């Protein structure tokens, strides 16, 4: 959790956000003279970015869009603490430069995860070219990339690579790969089909859209700890109820704030 601190001085009222990073070091982002509501909104997004960083996941779609819309000053402050990738020159906005910088910046991931990211990077660069502008890659290009992979790879492998491509592009608030992977509509239709007559429905999912339709008290997070499977209910964590005032349950799940990612 992040904390919001107000300072009243000769320059007026200023705000700053304090939080602990993935290495448990205290960090501070100075917001300057803004109103309390703005400061609280930024704090909520910073908490989601910190959770994503700690869990080694990508920020959810809405948070990625929020990051992309920030001015250069606030964006630079977020990048200073490695919560987002720094905005660079035109050269760094080409595919290979961007992917290499992103993977290098992920000092929090395990070697196996890094190898998977590099494989996805190589597939993207091989298909689009190292100097392809990020802005030029469209949803149609993403579809063509998937079809290209399917000519030589198994469906599960293609799905994983496209999922990592989606992860890369969310960092800059772009969504050409948004529709890649399992369609959440399949899950939603299944949930609706159960209808009111079912006394109990047990569903496993990675879909934020389906999680959004589940109450916090009905959600069970499954993860691994010391090689054992661990099931827990997140409704016991008070700070999650506070976060739900700023973001949806599916958004919190996708960011990693609920754990199990």
Q: Which domains does the chain have, with CATH numbers?
A: 3-80 (no CATH), 91-170 (1.10.150), 184-255 (no CATH)
In degrees rounded to 5, what are phi and psi of residue 222?
A: -110, 130
List the beta bridge partners of residue 19: 27
Say whether pTM exceeds 0.85: no
HSE value, Cβ hemisphere, 13 Å, CA-based, for 143: 4
- Percentage, residues of the chain above pLDDT 90: 15
Does residue 18 sit in helix, strand or coil?
strand
Chain segment 81-126, per-residue pLDDT in tens: 888 877 664 445 788 888 988 888 887 788 888 899 999 999 999 9
Q: Which residue has the tokens 């990738």?
A: 85
Are 105 and 85 in contact by the 8 Å Cβ rule? The answer is yes
Question: What are the pLDDT digits (tens) for 211-235?
Answer: 766 677 778 887 777 777 777 777 5
């Amino acid at each position: 959790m992040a904390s919001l601190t107000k300072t009243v001085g000769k320059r007026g009222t200023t705000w700053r956000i304090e939080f602990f990073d993935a290495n448990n070091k205290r960090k501070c982002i100075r917001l300057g003279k803004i109103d309390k509501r703005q400061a609280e909104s930024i704090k909520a997004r910073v908490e989601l970015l910190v959770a994503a960083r700690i869990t080694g996941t990508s920020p959810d779609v809405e948070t990625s869009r929020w990051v992309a819309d920030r001015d250069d000053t606030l964006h630079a402050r977020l990048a200073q603490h490695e919560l987002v990738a720094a905005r660079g020159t035109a050269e760094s906005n080409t595919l290979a430069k961007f992917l290499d910088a992103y993977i290098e910046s992920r000092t929090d991931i395990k070697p196996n995860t890094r190898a998977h990211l590099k494989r996805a990077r190589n597939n993207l660069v091989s298909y689009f070219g190292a100097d392809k502008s990020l802005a030029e890659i469209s949803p149609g290009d993403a579809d063509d990339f998937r079809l290209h992979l399917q000519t030589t790879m198994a469906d599960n492998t293609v799905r994983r690579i496209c999922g990592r491509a989606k992860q890369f592009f969310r960092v800059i608030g772009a969504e050409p790969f948004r529709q890649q992977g399992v369609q959440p509509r399949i899950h939603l239709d299944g949930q609706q089909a159960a209808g009111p007559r079912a006394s109990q429905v047990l569903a496993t999912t990675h879909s934020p859209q389906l999680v959004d339709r589940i109450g916090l008290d009905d959600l069970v997070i499954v993860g691994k700890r010391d090689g054992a499977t661990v099931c827990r209910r997140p409704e016991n964590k008070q700070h999650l109820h506070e976060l739900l005032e700023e973001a949806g349950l599916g958004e919190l799940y996708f960011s990693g704030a609920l754990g199990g990612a």
